[in-house]
Amino acid sequence: MAINYRSKTEIEGIRRAGQVVMEILEELRAATKPGVTTGELDALAARELARRGATSNFRGYSPAKGTPPFTGVICASVNDEVVHGIPGKRVLKEGDIIALDFGAIVDGWHGDSAITVPVGHVSAVAQRLLQVTHDALWKGIAAAQAGARVYDITRAVQTYVEGEGFALVEHYGGHGIGRELHEDPFIPNAMEQGIPNPLLRPGMVVCIEPMVSVSTPRTRTLGDKWTVSTRDGSLSAHFEHTVAITAGEPLVLTSLVGASASH
Ligand code: MG
Ligand code: MG
């Protein structure tokens, strides 16, 4: 496994990409309303990327042979969809929840973040799912300390989510990031056998991204070869930040400058 360790200057480059990601994610949050289509949100994000001279690390992405290139600049995953929903004609309606996963490339550096947003008023269980998934991300970030290991992040997220009575989606997780969208190490959301467990060292930049469902760790991939849904149709949420490991506290690179340094 080749892990990249970034200098302070390089981490600043990733932060600039992260800043663009968060500015646009906030615009997407504000535009998320009943009656809007996921394709309209995607078009908004594409316009805002272009306006900033940034490019998409999602559009055209193909992880493996046989998977068609991704067509959106955002992943839009509604309700029981966990991740990788393809934006299109789907119309959002009151009570939906939508995971907006979004990335950008600025000067060759990649940023990646995700939020899950309520559409109008949502059920009590949906509200709790969003809160627990958001808080799980911050448990993972708090565990991303130099001298700890990848599994410490996994354990912090999983212990919290399962203690709240929800399920962590299995076989997905976070990743290193920098010159590529997906670099080593893989950071499993739920513990599984056979995944490397490297030390976290200053200069590593990783995406932490818990995906939580109300009732099942199991998923299925739809016929479009991208959209991942919960196996039992239960609601799912996803939050993500790009984080640098430092000699001190972890540094969230996908945060808005001027915004609170924490939540
Ligand atoms: Mg992402
Ligand atoms: Mg990611």
Going along the chain from its start, the domains and CATH numbers come out as: 8-252 (3.90.230.10)
| Percentage above 90 pLDDT, the chain | 93
Ligand 1 centroid from CA 124, angstroms: 26
What values do phi and psi take at 95, rounded to 5?
Answer: 95, -15
Separation of alpha carbons 46 and 194, rounded Å: 38
Ligand 2 centroid from CA 176, angstroms: 9
145-159 b/e with 16+ CB inside 10 Å = b?
Answer: bbebbbbbbbbbbbe
For residue 248, the model assigns a pLDDT of 96
Interval 44-65 mean pLDDT:
95
Q: Which ligand is closest to the CA of 115, given by its number?
A: 1
For residue 133, the model assigns a pLDDT of 98
CA-nearest of 62, 117, 122, 63 to 238 is 117
- C-alpha distances in angstroms, 262 versus 107, 141, 157, 254? 26, 10, 17, 11
Ligand 2 centroid from CA 102, angstroms: 8
Ligand 2 centroid from CA 125, angstroms: 25
- C-alpha distances in angstroms, 68 versus 38, 72, 92, 218, 224? 19, 12, 25, 23, 9
Interval 139-154 mean pLDDT:
98
Q: pLDDT band for 69, please (50, 70, 90 cuts).
A: very high
- Residue 34 tokens, joined: 């009943």
Q: Is pLDDT larger for residue 81 or for residue 260? A: 81
Interior CA angle at 103 toward 100 and 104, to 5°? 145
* DSSP β-bridge partners for residue 118: 97
Ligand 1 centroid from CA 85, angstroms: 12
Q: Is pLDDT larger for residue 25 or for residue 1? A: 25
Interval 102-119 mean pLDDT:
98
User: What are the pLDDT digits (tens) for 186-214?
Assistant: 999 999 889 999 999 999 999 999 999 99
Around ion ligand 2, residues with a beta carbon closer than 5 Å are 112, 207
User: What are the pLDDT digits (tens) for 12-44?
Assistant: 999 999 999 999 999 999 999 999 999 999 999
Q: pLDDT band for 259, please (50, 70, 90 cuts).
A: low
| SS3 category, 129 | helix
For residue 63, the model assigns a pLDDT of 83
Ligand 2 centroid from CA 203, angstroms: 18
Q: Which ligand is closest to the CA of 172, given by its number?
A: 2
User: What are the pLDDT digits (tens) for 213-222?
Assistant: 999 999 999 9
| SS3 category, 178 | coil
